Structure 1
């Protein structure tokens, strides 16, 4: 027949094998269990750990651990990412504009310093090895710096200031805090409360200095929610 086209019928796709899906879930859980065990071994024994120690912790043969990772380098990288996930789960919720500026800074800085103080071996493992976990660490800094940059940018925009000014401020603060903490852990002559106090005051000074240079009425005792509401009312 002219003027008509024969409709092509796509071949039916094979249904997913339920057994395969269940097996994939089992492998993911076993991999997570191995990473949890690795973190416990590092906490108890330091950064120089063996695959055998992880296997012993799980009561499985050593080859079973390697079955879930593509060699020792892949295992170490997965451990670093697992450590960073644990840190970020505590830290990211604190990067919020609650209370005064001082409260927000003290909460974020205190959470980070406190985590490092409680888990010194996990923190050391992040930069241990050859090569160290640069990609994983860079990813964590990007997430933290990006969250801060978004907060700063939203605040600046309310004052009619270019959002792009926020990113250098945010990442500069992240780099500063990270550098101080790394130096402290290498030569721990101060306790965690002293380091937290130094970092809190330093970050507050950076915020206040940048705010003055941009004519933003912000101080360490400013209630963030009130500042933002006043700005919204002025723009209405």
Structure 2
């Protein structure tokens, strides 16, 4: 009897893994369709990119909104995967800021239509649906706050303001990103430079308010092994 149960459990697990893999494949197909057709890409466009009939998509996603939620979550992963190593890279603080901003915009520039769709929240068609952008922004703010905390600890200081500071920076960068994607007058290098100035200025000001003055060009070794993960 146990052997039969184990076989059933094994089949169920293989089926679950299959569904996870297929969903992942369809999300990547949706990204390709968005890259090609823009934020208005239709389910038919996504099905063609995936090489399947459109009804096959609905076996894994209730509707387009649910699929776009998964795409938004994947976009957050792309940003996270590039930003976290940049934050962890040993460097002077101002260089670390620019590396991080550059890493972020490299993801945006690679898939601008995906981030246009995400910025416009085209997936929020049901009020009960969680906003993956808000979830991702909260995680990103926690990461930046952890960096603030580590800088403060390195100078024997502490502040309760690290999370609100971090959320303010995330919101500012998100707003600048939406403007950049909509306006189109600045190149990638220019927006990286401008946003780096914004982020560094904010960091310098908030650290100073906590009694910490950081030389922007002085390398500072920080213990960032305990940075939060997604």
Matched, 1:114 2:110: no
Checking the alignment, whether the CA contact within 8 Å between 1:152 and 1:166 is kept in structure 2 is yes
Aligned-pair CA distance for 1:89: 1.6
Aligned-pair CA distance for 1:221: 0.8
Find the aligned partners of 2:201 and 2:217 in 1 and give their Cα distance. 12
Checking the alignment, whether the CA contact within 8 Å between 1:145 and 1:171 is kept in structure 2 is yes
Structure 1 equivalent of residue 22 of structure 2: 30
Larger Rg: 1
Match of 2:66 among 64, 74, 79: 74
Match of 1:157 among 150, 153, 156: 153
Bigger shift: 81-90 or 106-115?
Answer: 81-90
Find the aligned partners of 2:113 and 2:97 in 1 and give their Cα distance. 25
Structure 1 equivalent of residue 228 of structure 2: none
Match of 1:144 among 131, 140, 148: 140
Aligned-pair CA distance for 1:175: 1.5
Find the aligned partners of 1:53 and 1:59 in 2 and give their Cα distance. 10
Structure 1: state its 5+ residue gaps: 1-11, 230-236
Matches within 5 A, 1:47-196: 47-96=39-88, 98-128=90-120, 129=122, 131=124, 135-196=131-192
Structure 2: state its 5+ residue gaps: 224-230
Bigger shift: 29-38 or 202-211?
Answer: 202-211
Aligned-pair CA distance for 1:130: 6.0
Checking the alignment, whether the CA contact within 8 Å between 1:153 and 1:164 is kept in structure 2 is no
Find the aligned partners of 1:90 and 1:60 in 2 and give their Cα distance. 31
Equivalent pairs, count = 216
Greater than 4 Å deviation, 4+ residue runs = none
TM-score normalised by the chain length of structure 2: 0.84
What secondary structure, in the 3-state scheme, does the structure 1 residue paired with 2:88 have? coil
Distance 1:19 1:155, change over 3 A: same
C-alpha RMSD of matched pairs (Å): 2.3
What secondary structure, in the 3-state scheme, does the structure 2 residue paired with 1:48 have? coil
Bigger shift: 69-78 or 59-68?
Answer: 69-78
Checking the alignment, whether the CA contact within 8 Å between 2:157 and 2:212 is kept in structure 1 is no
Higher relative contact order (CA 8 A, sep 6+): 2
TM-score normalised by the chain length of structure 1: 0.82
Find the aligned partners of 1:104 and 1:111 in 2 and give their Cα distance. 10
Distance 1:134 1:47, change over 3 A: farther
